[in-house]
Amino acid sequence: MSITSNADLSGMQAVSEAVGIALRKMREYASPGMSAKELDEYGGSLLNEMGAKSAPKLTYGFPGWTCISVNNEVAHGIPTGNKILKEGDLVNIDVSAELNGYWGDNGGSFVLGNDIHNHNPLVNASKLILQKAINEIRGGVKIADVGHLIESTAKKMGYRVIRNLVGHGVGRSLHEEPKEIPNYYDRTNKNRFRKNSVVAIETFISTRASFAYDMGDGWTLVTNDGSFVAQHEHTIIVTDGQPVILTASNQIWD
């Protein structure tokens, strides 16, 4: 969507703050021995307290309030009761929601407790690459050029990107134009970022794999070679200068 009124701006600020707060508090609440379902129920209660509705549940009938992916799961992980979080796990939480007709989306990967498996370099690379990408986004910038920046920076740091998971427009629904904001250079993509548009920018930085595949449950995506993947995501407003980061309340860069 494009921000065309104060009502649009305040609506996007409200839903983005809600999903950002939920993500931050879920990250703080997570602890070894807890099930993903317990963490998800906490996230669902946070959204409910803020008057927001889970976007994946509302839009797709997803079996959870939020997506919680652990270790080799890349995205859309189902928060089940038998998925028990352990010390050193690579955990990703993706929180998206609707509030008063507006939709916000954000996510972040983190290491639970002590980094006994050395996942933090991957997590930190994903954070840095997202920051570099967002800093380059302005009205008129080619989407392909930002994809090239993400991919080339990842390569310089010894990583790859997941090519079939992408950022997207957001606002009046969960996925809007532009439908795809890739993490790689696509020379056929001639689209440019538009001033005042709202987009969800996300990284999927991988230790080896370039694609994610359905695990077989209809939701969870995994790599086929045991790679680990870190994801970080902000909802932003594109401007003529530095973008407005609507989901700053998630504190994924802190």
pLDDT tens digit string along 111-120?
999 999 999 9
Element (H, E) at 244: strand 244-245
Listed in sequence order, the DSSP H helices in the chain are: 6-29, 36-49, 55-60, 120-136, 143-156
- pLDDT band at residue 153, thresholds of 50, 70 and 90? very high
Identify the architecture of domain 6-250 in CATH: Alpha-Beta Complex (3.90)
> What DSSP assignment string belongs to 26-84?
HHHH--TT-BHHHHHHHHHHHHHHTT-EEHHHHHH--SSSSEEEETTEEE-----TT-B
Whole-number average pLDDT of the chain: 98
Q: In degrees to the nearest 10, what's the CA dihedral of 104, 206, 43, 130?
A: -40
* Per-domain residue ranges of the chain: 6-250
Query: Which residues belong to the annotated binding site for a divalent metal cation?
Result: 94, 105, 168, 202, 233
Query: Which residues belong to the annotated binding site?
Result: 76, 94, 105, 168, 175, 202, 233
Rg (C-alpha) for the chain, rounded Å, is: 17
pLDDT of 71 reads: 97
Note whether 129 and 146 are within 8 A (CB). Answer: no
Q: Comparing C-alpha atoms, which of 177, 190, 93, 211 is closest to residue 147?
A: 190
Q: Please report the sign of the dihedral spanned by the C-alpha atoms of residue 114, residue 119, residue 121, residue 125.
A: negative
pLDDT of 251 reads: 98
CA–CA dist 38, 47 (Å, integer)? 14
Rounded mean pLDDT, 98-116: 98
Crossing angle of helices 36-49 and 6-29, in 10° steps, is 150
pLDDT tens digits, one per residue of 25-75? 999 999 999 999 999 999 999 999 999 999 999 999 999 999 999 999 999
CA–CA dist 133, 157 (Å, integer)? 15
Query: Which residues belong to the annotated binding site for substrate?
Result: 76, 175
CA–CA dist 88, 185 (Å, integer)? 33
Q: Comparing C-alpha atoms, which of 4, 116, 75 is closest to residue 227?
A: 75
